[in-house]
Amino acid sequence: VEAGAEWAAEVRRLVKLRNATILAHNYQLPAIQDIADHVGDSLALARAAAAAPEQTIVFCGVHFMAESAKILSPEKTVLIPDERAGCSLADSITGADLREWKAEHPDAVVVSYVNTTAEVKALTDICCTSSNAVDVVESIDPDREVLFLPDQFLGAHVKRVTGRDNIHIWAGECHVHAGINGDELTAQVEASPDAELFVHPECGCATSALYLAGEGTVPEERVKILSTGGMLDQASQTAAKKVLVATEVGMLYQLRKAAPDVDFQPVNDRAACPYMKMITPAALLRSLAAGADEVHVDAQTAHAARRSVERMIEHGN
Ligand code: 13P
Ligand code: SF4
């Protein structure tokens, strides 16, 4: 299927027929981003899903995102164009793992990144995304222990910014972001010493970026640790001619559109999420035509998970 004018017209026709809305994550393919009703980061899309007046949500992203939309709006039909679009980070902790961890810290507050399964969310006090993780942790009584999961790099970032030493961090990672390493970042910074850095907190190189700032290789004000939505806001404000971007490469499409005069370059041009890229133009069309793949979360799990996801969308800008 070519993502041409005919494809776009057919997608729009079916969207109207189904009283649907298309949500697309910033890492989606350009054709998918262009046809979507809302494009954004995990937090913005969760909010858009909760507020959508349409009966059907077509979630062009990965499975945990579609699941979160279903948890927030159980009465709506939630479709994902390919249900095999998983997430290596969400796979790094199971419900059984979390039950065991909680038993070791019975008084701790459980903060889960939204990149988790519904089962894990059901065992969570409050969810967060990369754009509000710091706000969420700061809202918790400083005397309470926190279990932060599953991403170790985001956890380290939150620990650093909040200065809390009572945070326990799960050792999970996203294989795409963990693969953007410090050596690659250092080499790119040396080759472009005037560039600004946009670094997603899930990256293995987030600590290296701060280290480079600490030793004066890059001025501190040029290192920005941001969610994908935060990168987009920053793109239109930056005075830099060149920005090195450490995140999944799909993000570059939005950044270049937002600030065409800035030269955005990936720190690692192989950092593509294979799950995000399963949502092809053909898959989207099939999804709308067939009403598939429908996302189901069993009622009990959804009920138990809802409060933690609702608290997430109330935090941060
Ligand atoms: P954000 O869009 O919330 O920054 O998340 C990045 C991500 O990896 C989602 O899978
Ligand atoms: Fe999951 Fe990483 Fe892909 Fe995001 S980029 S969906 S965290 S595997």
- DSSP per residue, 117-148: -HHHHTT-SEEE-TTTHHHHHHTS-TTS-EEE
Interval between CA 6 and ligand 1 midpoint (Å) = 31
pLDDT, mean of residues 288-300: 98
- pLDDT, tens digit (0-9, with 9 covering 90-100), for 225-274: 999 999 999 999 999 999 999 999 999 999 999 999 999 999 999 999 99
| C-beta of 129 in contact with ligand 2 (< 6 A) | no
Are residues 129 and 41 in contact, defined by beta-carbon separation less than 8 angstroms?
A: yes
Give the number of the atom of ligand 1 that is nearest the alpha carbon of residue 200: 4
Bind-site residues for iminosuccinate: 25, 42, 113-115, 130, 200-202, 228
| C-beta of 88 in contact with ligand 1 (< 6 A) | no
- pLDDT, tens digit (0-9, with 9 covering 90-100), for 138-182: 999 999 999 999 999 999 999 999 999 999 999 999 999 999 989
Give the number of the atom of ligand 2 that is nearest the alpha carbon of residue 177: 2
Are residues 128 and 111 in contact, defined by beta-carbon separation less than 8 angstroms?
A: yes
In the chain, which residues fall in CATH 3.40.50.10800? Answer: 5-85+275-298, 90-174, 180-266
- Per-residue pLDDT at 316 exceeds 90: no
- Per-residue pLDDT at 317 exceeds 90: no
ipTM of the prediction: 0.97
pLDDT value of position 207? 87
| C-beta of 248 in contact with ligand 2 (< 6 A) | yes
Give the number of the atom of ligand 2 that is nearest the alpha carbon of residue 273: 3
- pLDDT, tens digit (0-9, with 9 covering 90-100), for 39-78: 999 999 999 999 999 999 999 999 999 999 999 999 999 9
| C-beta of 60 in contact with ligand 2 (< 6 A) | no
Report residue 2's pLDDT band, with 50, 70 and 90 as the boundaries: confident
Q: Which two tokens stand for residue 164?
A: 């809390």
pLDDT value of position 137? 98
Are residues 125 and 111 in contact, defined by beta-carbon separation less than 8 angstroms?
A: yes
- pLDDT, tens digit (0-9, with 9 covering 90-100), for 78-104: 999 999 999 999 999 999 999 999 999
Counting ligands in written order, which one lies closest to the CA of residue 86?
Answer: 2
pLDDT value of position 4? 95
Report residue 35's pLDDT band, with 50, 70 and 90 as the boundaries: very high
| C-beta of 115 in contact with ligand 1 (< 6 A) | yes
Interval between CA 256 and ligand 2 midpoint (Å) = 21
CATH code for the structural domain at 90-174 = 3.40.50.10800
Q: Which CATH architecture has domain 180-266?
A: 3-Layer(aba) Sandwich (3.40)
Q: What is the best residue among 38, 130, 252, 255 to mutate for testing ligand 1's pocket, by most ligand atoms within 8 Å of CB?
A: 130
- pLDDT, tens digit (0-9, with 9 covering 90-100), for 171-208: 999 999 999 989 999 999 999 999 999 999 999 898 88
Burial of residue 116, with CB atoms counted within 10 A of its CB: 0-12 exposed, 13-18 middle, 19 or more buried: buried
Q: What is the best residue among 227, 231, 254, 255 to mutate for testing ligand 1's pocket, by most ligand atoms within 8 Å of CB?
A: 227
**Residue at 57: amino acid letter:** I
- Of the candidate CATH numbers 3.40.50.970, 3.40.50.10800, 3.40.190.10, 3.40.50.300, the domain formed by 5-85+275-298 belongs to 3.40.50.10800
3-state DSSP helix/strand/coil % of the chain, to nearest 5: 45, 15, 40
pTM exceeding 0.90:
yes
| C-beta of 174 in contact with ligand 2 (< 6 A) | yes
Query: By C-alpha distance, which of 232, 196, 230 is closest to 212?
Result: 196
- Per-residue pLDDT at 1 exceeds 90: no
